[in-house]
């Protein structure tokens, strides 16, 4: 998939979407007995929280998965302070690896993977989730790339519709796409695992007049 096949989170069309905060509370998915990855446990204690409607939709989405397959939740809400840190670190990493890139190219490549912190990043709203699938034995399904792996390390196999993944991985991604799409989530096509509801990216692609979630620090 090329850069022109989808809008980056930093695209002006996304930034231009207004926000009309609905003040839904954050709900901890641990209280709903979701299977939760521990990969963020030492990073931020509130990573298992999402907006109330997001939690409701995730519960509903489970019915669209095959028997024996369930969600493995990786991350929801992320404070702006952590978003700034992640953005700075990834920007510095790519600048070091690619000294030939100018600022325009650097920002474009960084924002394929990390939303800029200055304008309501999806995870800061509690409306975005990182999620994958596991089988009845608790083993993660083959999705063609590791969740959260940066695109510079896997030849863009993290793109949702990447060409160079196995048929099995593509089929597993289709399961995820079907279940989450049925309940109203929108995927960020640069990351097969990133889905959202209520944020600016969702509002644009769902043809809504505004986002209903703003940032929560």
The per-residue pLDDT for 174 is 98
User: Is residue 191 annotated as part of the catalytic site, yes or no?
Assistant: yes
Q: Is 123 annotated as a binding residue?
A: yes
Least confident of 7-21, 47-61, 107-121, 157-171: 107-121
Domains of the chain, first to last: 3-80+120-205 (3.30.1380.10)
The per-residue pLDDT for 87 is 92
Q: Is 33 annotated as a binding residue?
A: no
Which of the four pLDDT bands, split at 50, 70 and 90, describes residue 4? very low
CA angle 83, 38, 23 (to 5 degrees): 50
Ramachandran class of 198: left when φ > 0, alpha when ψ lies in -120 to 50, beta otherwise: left
Asked whether the beta carbons of 62 and 134 are under 8 A apart, the reply is: no
Q: Alpha-carbon distance 51 to 124, whole Å?
A: 11
Q: Is 77 annotated as a binding residue?
A: no
Q: Is the pLDDT of residue 44 over 90?
A: no
Q: Alpha-carbon distance 74 to 96, whole Å?
A: 28
Q: Alpha-carbon distance 183 to 195, whole Å?
A: 11
CA distances 50 to 2, 22, 169, 202, Å, are: 31, 14, 27, 15
Q: Alpha-carbon distance 59 to 72, whole Å?
A: 12
CA-derived radius of gyration, the chain: 16
Q: Is the pLDDT of residue 3 over 70?
A: no
């Amino acid at each position: 998939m090329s850069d022109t096949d989808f809008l980056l989170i930093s695209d002006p069309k996304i930034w231009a979407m207004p926000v009309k905060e609905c003040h839904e509370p954050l709900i901890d998915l641990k209280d709903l007995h979701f299977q939760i990855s521990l990969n963020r446990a030492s990073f931020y204690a509130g990573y298992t929280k999402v907006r109330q409607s997001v939690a409701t939709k995730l519960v509903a989405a489970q019915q669209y998965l095959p028997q024996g397959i369930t969600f493995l939740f990786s991350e929801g809400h992320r404070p702006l302070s952590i978003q700034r840190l992640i953005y700075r670190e990834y920007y510095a990493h790519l600048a070091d690896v690619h000294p030939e890139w100018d600022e325009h190219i650097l920002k474009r490549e960084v924002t394929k993977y990390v939303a800029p912190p200055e304008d309501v990043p999806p995870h800061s709203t509690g409306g975005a989730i990182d999620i994958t699938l596991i089988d009845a034995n608790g083993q993660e399904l083959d999705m063609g790339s590791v969740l959260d792996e940066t695109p510079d390390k896997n030849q863009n196999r993290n793109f949702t519709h990447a060409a160079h993944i196995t048929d099995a991985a593509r089929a597993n991604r289709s399961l995820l796409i079907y279940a989450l799409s049925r309940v109203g989530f929108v995927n960020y096509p640069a990351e097969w695992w990133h889905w959202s509801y209520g944020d600016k990216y969702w509002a644009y692609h769902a043809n809504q007049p505004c986002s209903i979630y703003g940032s929560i620090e």
